Amino acid sequence: MPCMKCANGKWKYGEGGNCQFDTLAACKAAAAAIHINIPSGPHQAPQTEMSMTPIAPQITENPCVDSTHEDMTNAMQNHYK
């Protein structure tokens, strides 16, 4: 969408925009800021609100780690008896 000059001498961005910019440069700067936030092309996913929910790591059982932990725990308990 291009910047358009209004009857009141100000500039607006696009057909339905408000006549709010004093200069063409200000209108183009606003248009550039708008385009930074709009995905273009089919390869980009639509923007969604970011979730602040932390993602918990998946914990899987590892027999090597579990047996090592058990061995170390037993050794520590036996050492302090």
Express each pLDDT in 47-73 by its tens digit: 555 555 666 566 666 655 556 667 777
Higher pLDDT, 72 or 4: 4
Distance CA 11, CA 37 (A): 21
pTM flag (> 0.95): no
Predicted local distance difference test score (pLDDT) of residue 24: 94
CA 53, 36, 45: angle at the middle one, nearest 5? 50
State the average pLDDT for the chain: 74
CA-CA distance, 25 to 11, in Å (whole number)?
9
Phi/psi of residue 51, nearest 5 degrees: -85, 140
Query: Is residue 24 a contact partner of residue 37, using CB atoms and an 8 Å limit?
Result: no
